[in-house]
Amino acid sequence: MVLGTILFLNFTTTEAVGWNLMFLDKMIPITILSWLFSVTYFQLYRVDVLFSLDFFYRNSWRAFFTQRIIWYGYIYVFQDDVLYFFGTKANLFQLSFLLFYFLISRILFTVVINKIKGWVFKQYTVAIWGFNKTSIELASHLEANSFFIDFIGIINENSTVNYTNNEDFSIALTEAIHKASNENVNELYIVSKPDYISDLNYFFELGDKHCMRLKFIPDFSLISKKHFCSSHLDNFHVIMPRFEPLQNAYNRLIKRIFDLVFSSLVIVFILSWLYPLLAIIIKKQSKGPVLFKQMRTGKKNEPFCCYKFRSMYINVGDESQQAKKGDARVTPIGKFLRRTSLDEMPQFFNVFMGNMSVVGPRPHMIKHTSDYNDHIHNFMVRHFVKPGITGLAQVSGFRGETKRVSDMIRRVNKDIEYVQRWSLITDVKICFLTIIVTLKGDENAF
């Protein structure tokens, strides 16, 4: 990025794209400082034994956009004529040039990283001992990220021996460590059932004696089919059923700021004129309040009052019954509101007050929560986070009436996937996809 800035400055000097010399003199130090902050924060160039290209690419884009935000923030604060700067041809040239340079640099880095193993004279050798489901998954991970190591595989994958007691297992593992040392293995992952290992200190000392790093990984594949998430609480090893990014207070703060900014913009620039307009039409077509208020299940299974523009006649049928295609309870304006999702707009007040989020699992009626919880074992996981106006399930096609339990299971699985994979980029992406789906028209919206 710094090199790209220097190249671009030469370009600006020869092409005279419209920046004053005083600003150009400040551009390099500001770029250097903002880029150093971004790469340090996202640990972009931290090179470990295992190196993930996927992780590097994701954090590259995060660092790039963070650096741009910091840089534009500096301009907003210190430039006299901000509107001129953002409207000038130089700004467009600069962004286009740096984006092109950034893409080229990532491509060159990929070429280099794939060639680097052949340039190393004496490689760091890694192996696995223990043949089971967990070790196979570990082997796949090591193979995918073995740019700086020589991964030789599972050294006992052809063995048919089944260990029945700790003594047999200890003898076999001791022999395996001696054999791995003779083959110049630098690091050995030992994957086994926890109850087979009786004395970790003995094996660690044996590994130290052979100048070999030993790493034990417990195999839980026979206990559960699920993937665990593990962490540390001081000296305590904690095993959890899933990874939840929003358990981190910093991530929750980021999401809350996004919700406040997004909901405030919608309330001020859209609902300020849309609310009175729709209120007049709704009141003219049918008697009753403008807003439909209903208790829904929120975060931690706590109920809250959810707002919607009223799209049905009042006192007609059971309010707990899901809307169906061609539902006679829906008013003429209600059909338009539901088809375009405009009936959900008042929920931005819920977001602003903190009951909901812009993106998250859709809130259900309390009765439906109770009913589905009896049939779907992991249904309540979706309530670990705040419910949202839109969500991953909705943009994935799982919106509308759920006629079968299997329909709800698919929706719940998407909600849980969102809980496990949350990021600010994911929220922004879902918001854009929601707009696209709404403009195209969702056949499940009725």
| Domain locations in the chain as residue ranges | 2-119, 124-225, 249-440
Q: Poorest-confidence range of 188-202, 228-242, 249-263, 317-331?
A: 317-331
**Residue burial 372-410, b: 16+ Cβ < 10 Å; e: rest:** bbeebeebebbbbbbbbbbbbbbbbebbbebeeeeebbe
Report the C-alpha gap between 295 and 290 in whole angstroms: 17
Per-residue model confidence (pLDDT) at position 22? 47
| Spatial distance between the Cα atoms of 215 and 195, rounded to a whole number of angstroms | 16
Sign of CA dihedral 37, 41, 44, 45: positive
Residue 2 and residue 35: Cα distance in Å, rounded? 8
| Sign of the dihedral through C-alpha 150, 154, 158, 163 | positive
Confidence of residue 158 (pLDDT cuts 50, 70, 90): confident
E strands, 197-290, in order: 213-218, 229-233, 236-240
Write the burial class of residue 368 (CB in 10 Å: 0-12 exposed, 13-18 middle, 19+ buried).
Answer: middle
> Strands 291-297 and 236-240: what pairing?
unpaired
Instruction: Mean pLDDT check: name the lowest of 11-15, 188-192, 326-330.
Output: 11-15
**Residue 72 has which token pair?**
């534009």
Mean pLDDT of 254-264: 96
pLDDT digits (tens, 9 = 90+) for 33-82: 777 887 788 777 766 667 777 777 888 888 888 877 887 777 666 665 55
Of 75-84, 189-198, 390-399, least confident by mean pLDDT is 75-84
131 and 157 in contact (C-beta within 8 Å)? yes
DSSP string, 28-86: HHHHHHHHHHHHHHTTTT---SS--HHHHHHHHHHHHHHHHHHHHHHHHHH-S-HHHHH
Among 59, 53, 55, smallest CA distance to 114 is for 53
Least confidently predicted of 32-36, 88-92, 178-182, 374-378: 88-92
> Which of 105-109, 161-165, 413-417 shows the highest mean pLDDT?
413-417
pLDDT tens-digit readout, 275-321? 999 999 999 988 889 999 999 999 999 999 999 999 888 765 555 55
Q: Which of 201-210, 256-265, 286-295 has the highest mean pLDDT?
A: 256-265
Distance separating alpha carbons of residues 38 and 32, to the nearest angstrom: 10
Chain-centroid distance of CA 284 in Å reads 44
Mean pLDDT of the chain: 81
Yes or no: say if 37 and 22 are a contact pair by the CB < 8 Å rule: no
* The predicted structure's pLDDT at residue 15: 45
The predicted model gives 352-363 an average pLDDT of 96
Give backbone dihedrals phi and psi of 184, rounded to 5 degrees, phi first. 60, 40
For a pLDDT cut of 90, what percent of the chain falls above it?
35
Distance of CA 170 to the CA centre of its chain: 41
Written as six digits, the tokens of 242 are 């899933």
pLDDT of residue 11: 53
What pTM did the predictor assign? 0.69
Neighbour-count burial of 414, counting CB atoms closer than 10 A to its CB (0-12 exposed, 13-18 middle, 19+ buried): buried
Query: Which fold is adopted by the domain 124-225?
Result: Rossmann fold (3.40.50)
Distance CA 149, CA 367 (A): 55
